[in-house]
Amino acid sequence: MNTHVLHAIQQLAIYAICELAVTLYAHFIIMYTLKLIYSPEPRTQTLKESVTYCATIDLYVDHGIESFQTSASEIAFEHDRDRTLACLLLSASTSFTPVIL
């Protein structure tokens, strides 16, 4: 094989390892989760994802709480204290009810 092909294979392997590391981090390190129970359900999945995303932005901008959206209705936190405070803050919403998982 020529050096260009070997370099491309090496780059793909590095990319795959990095993606695996991010996935493992998200599943095993971040373990404090809130589920947003929507009532009524938003008309579309995209709208549900957008409202959840906006909740994460509000938590960060207004309160300095870092979080990660893991699905259309779940938000993950690195610390239990952040999840607990976020649950309290988000409970004022009329779109959803936050539930600690």
Q: Has residue 30 got a pLDDT over 60?
A: no
Span 32-46, pLDDT tens digits: 999 999 988 888 999
Cβ 77 vs Cβ 66: under 8 Å: yes
User: How far is residue 1's CA from residue 45's CA, in Å, rounded to a whole number?
Assistant: 47
Report the length, in residues, of the chain: 101
Cβ atoms 10, 68 nearer than 8 A: no
pTM assigned to the model: 0.70
| Tokens encoding 11 | 């780059």
